[in-house]
Structure 1
């Protein structure tokens, strides 16, 4: 039940965070100026929201296992060694899943925004931010 409530919370926070214009320092206008359509920008935002939610859930799973590891260590590491081995395997699986997901989401994003478009949009955003910083 806690996982469901936590998932809903992160989903709502993630949607409201990414509902603002842009992806990080790169705004929608930066992407549009290098030829990315609004539809593709919206699709990328959906992918990023999904990736963010899944990553946060995996982090929560990892933290809960780490708490269980600490309990086993406090109860006596030597007598709990088989359980600690099992928990270490679970932690490794979560880490591996995070890396695999990162690759998959990067591939999904590249279907909508090419690497060249991203680099050009990033350069535009950096120049824009430098101008704002120079004005201060």
Structure 2
């Protein structure tokens, strides 16, 4: 992967670690309430679901970090990166359609850009 692709994939991975932290650990905190625009009652009622969502975001981040730092075979690295970025793009489209439109830009756009750069750099 070219340097730009690695930087973008790394950014998306870090972003999803931060989402994991927000959803799993800060959901009911002042910052979580503010970021997700929730009342304490809504946060309390949805805390278990948020932890589950956070865990899934962690898996996405782990897959991207795995591809960036541990997979040595270039074909497998490329396929793994495309798979996890594609999952994030699809999840962002679904999230924008069903929950909050801004997800398309905050999560989908960085993943989409990383995906495009990854595909262009690895075009054979």
If the length of structure 2 is used for normalisation, what is the TM-score? 0.39
Pair member with larger Rg: 1
If the length of structure 1 is used for normalisation, what is the TM-score? 0.36
Higher relative contact order (CA 8 A, sep 6+): 1
